[in-house]
Amino acid sequence: MQNRYFGDVGDFGKYGLLHILSGSNGGQVLRLGVVWYLYPDEGHNADGKHVNYLLGNDPVFRDCDQELYDKLRALLFDDHGQLIEANRHTSSAEKSGLLPEGTVFYSKPLSYSKEQSFSARVSLRTEWFDKAMATTVSADLVFLDPDNGIECASVKRTAPKGPKYVFWDDIDAFVKRGQSVLIYHHLGHNGSHPEQVEGKLMQMNERFGKGFEASALTFKRGTSRAYFLIASSQHKDFLRERLQKIRSGLWNPHFIVHEKPCYTCDDLSGADPSTSSG
């Protein structure tokens, strides 16, 4: 996660999804924990610039979650329709009630300096993660929001871009505590998007299959992003029902839900570039 993404069209989908899965829109409430994996803002691309969906009260977006839409618009735009850049920060999400009451946040940035040694980077990340675990110990559902997603073979934990990834043993730690886990993942170019989703679901089913249920959602607006949900045995029945609500409700035009490895779903690589985001 980078602060410059706050409030873009991808964030609208992210917060809407968290509302549904946590039960804030009805049903049994799951206490939510958010670990931002906050990375310093970069400026090499235009990611995060697409916030105009908040102008014009477009029912395609606003009808999905009117309260969320209106709060985001009030945070990002003044009365003259001018963007308030100073509010583009994760602290805005924490202080404004965008997420359910009782949500706990771990907001400490994660990055390395060029001067840091290998051992210093290991220590920094270990301490950072231990505090993330302590902060979210009371949560039922933990959302991990790395900048890039789940680890890849080419980037090590201590590499300069290591903080942009969540690693499998990070996920393991939450699952072993009996918590359900939602993970953001940016889809790449190594295969079609359905193939990438299927591959990650197969890894999760192999890793967490006993007592847990893995599913995924791809968000169709903006850049190619997916969310992987690992539902614990105590949560999986009503989390499955909430995924079905996404399929049959107003969020359906924005999400594709994959509960099993998928061979026939549409490839999303042709996402509308007019709504791309970071």
Tokens matching residue 146: 């790395």
Kindly provide the residue ranges of all beta strands, DSSP E only, lying in the chain, ordered along the sequence. 32-35, 104-106, 141-144, 149-150, 165-166, 180-186, 213-219, 225-231, 255-258
Please tell me the CATH code under which domain 3-269 is placed: 3.40.50
Model confidence at 230: pLDDT above 80: yes
pLDDT score recorded for residue 42: 57
Model confidence at 44: pLDDT above 80: no
**Biggest distance spanned by C-alpha atoms of the chain:** 54
State pLDDT tens for residues 126-165.
999 999 999 999 999 999 999 899 999 899 999 999 999 9
Distance CA 198, CA 215 (A): 10
* Cβ atoms 19, 68 nearer than 8 A: yes
Exposure string (b/e) for 95-126, b if CB count within 10 Å is 16 or more? eeebbbeebbbbbeebebeeeeeeeebeebbe
Tokens matching residue 211: 């007592």
Model confidence at 196: pLDDT above 80: yes
Mean pLDDT, residues 218-245 taken together: 90
Tokens matching residue 157: 């934990």
Mean pLDDT, residues 72-78 taken together: 90
Q: Tell me the chain's radius of gyration from C-alpha atoms.
A: 18
